Chains A and B, each alone.
Chain A
């Protein structure tokens, strides 16, 4: 199985993830789209590891997962705090810093 198929798949998922971030207003879904982009990158790295015949790509994926876990914890906390104060998870509502 040639790695480029995996790469195309990964890029497709990544592109879908960017669309999600740009189009969905719900902060949680946008956040999940970011996770999807991370996963797409992971898939690409695992595919590269296969193609190169080394395990470093898999190790990198492992670290990405660890970082993603930490990110999700903090990110969700922030979403909860915003929800508490503004009673909404819409990203469009969080524009207080603009004049």
Chain B
């Protein structure tokens, strides 16, 4: 008994400070991954402390559920949201750190004085008798969980299912509308043309059907008139585009020649 008790004291004085170190690491590491790992470290130490308190079942649950499942989930999410950016530790809220430390000390003092004061000096009963009642710690807990607390236990199942469903709903990313196909896009372009007059395709390049292909040369439409769309509005505003009537003169000349020829042909 004394050996065991001594073992408990030793393990407390080893695991306790380590747990505190881990906790301090959690709030001090700049990188979130280190913080998570030091948190896991704290939890393992807590498991040791549970063991020193004769809570063998909780020791393993702590390691399996907390360290094994929950902390790994945290790490997983950390990986997901970007592990490589260290947090800035510069405080943005004025006086937040000092006030937070004061509040924490206040809470510490409050609990130590308020509740700790009430139990100081009361000898610990120990769990030997309670554990021995049904054989061992696990059997004793099982008797309580499936006996007195069975209704609460059943309720936790509902809670877990709700949480699982909630996580699934939050996690899924539903497409609000069908992805547009090429056909949809082209139909939309034509609809825009019909309703708003937006040009459905590419506009004529500058210089098309003209004698030059400089960007300052407006394109000529097949009837020899100038297409305003073919030159940049900026150039048009500056007035640096090539004079349109001069450009279309060649076409006009060609047309007149063709016409005179056709007239002569008709005369003949």
Q: Is chain B in direct contact with chain A in the complex (CB below 8 A)?
A: yes
Contact yes or no, A14 B141, CB < 8 A: no
B83-111 interface code vs A (CB 8 A; 1 in, 0 out): 00001100111001101110111011001
Give chain B nearest CB distance to A25 CB in angstroms.
6
Give chain B nearest CB distance to A72 CB in angstroms.
5
Tell me whether A1 and B27 are in contact in the complex, defined as CB-CB below 8 angstroms, given that A59-B149, A62-B58 are known contacts.
no
- Which residues of chain B have C-beta atoms less than 8 A from A54's C-beta? 130
Question: What size tier do the contact residues of chain A reach?
Answer: 35 or more
B106-127 interface code vs A (CB 8 A; 1 in, 0 out): 0110011001100110111111
- Which residues of chain B have C-beta atoms less than 8 A from A28's C-beta? 32, 36, 74, 77-78, 81
Tell me whether A62 and B77 are in contact in the complex, defined as CB-CB below 8 angstroms, given that A56-B144, A80-B170 are known contacts.
no
- Which residues of chain B have C-beta atoms less than 8 A from A43's C-beta? 46, 49-50
Residue of A15, A39, A61 near B42 (CB, 8 A) is A39
Contact yes or no, A66 B100, CB < 8 A: no
Residue of A2, A18, A65, A77 near B65 (CB, 8 A) is A65
The answer to whether A19 has its CB under 8 Å from any CB of chain B is yes
CB-contacts of A47-85 with B (<8 A): 47, 49-56, 58-59, 61-63, 65-74, 76-81, 83-84
- Which residues of chain B have C-beta atoms less than 8 A from A32's C-beta? 26, 35-36, 39, 74
| Cα distance A3–B121 in the bound complex, in angstroms | 9
Contact yes or no, B170 A78, CB < 8 A: yes
Contact yes or no, B20 A76, CB < 8 A: no
Contact yes or no, A16 B23, CB < 8 A: yes
The answer to whether B242 has its CB under 8 Å from any CB of chain A is no
The answer to whether B252 has its CB under 8 Å from any CB of chain A is no
Contact yes or no, A51 B74, CB < 8 A: no
- Which residues of chain A have C-beta atoms less than 8 A from B111's C-beta? 7, 11, 14
- Which residues of chain B have C-beta atoms less than 8 A from A56's C-beta? 144
Tell me whether A1 and B9 are in contact in the complex, defined as CB-CB below 8 angstroms, given that A17-B23, A39-B66, A73-B164 are known contacts.
yes
Contact yes or no, A66 B159, CB < 8 A: yes
CB-contacts of A12-27 with B (<8 A): 12-20, 22-26
CB-contacts of B3-48 with A (<8 A): 5, 8-9, 12, 16, 19-20, 23-24, 26-27, 32, 35-36, 39, 42-43, 46
Tell me whether A12 and B108 are in contact in the complex, defined as CB-CB below 8 angstroms, given that A25-B87, A53-B125, A80-B171 are known contacts.
yes
| Cα distance A89–B36 in the bound complex, in angstroms | 15
Contact yes or no, B125 A52, CB < 8 A: yes
Contact yes or no, A11 B35, CB < 8 A: no
A-B interface, 7 closest residue pairs, ranked by CB to CB distance from nearest: A53-B125, A70-B163, A22-B100, A77-B170, A20-B27, A15-B104, A15-B108
Further 20 A-B residue pairs, CB within 8 A, beyond A16-B27, A69-B65: A1-B5, A4-B116, A7-B115, A11-B111, A11-B112, A12-B23, A14-B107, A15-B105, A16-B20, A28-B32, A39-B43, A51-B119, A53-B124, A62-B61, A65-B61, A65-B62, A65-B65, A70-B162, A74-B166, A80-B80
A-B pairs with beta carbons under 8 Å apart, 13 shown: A1-B8, A14-B107, A15-B107, A16-B104, A18-B103, A29-B87, A31-B74, A52-B125, A55-B141, A59-B145, A69-B70, A72-B70, A74-B170
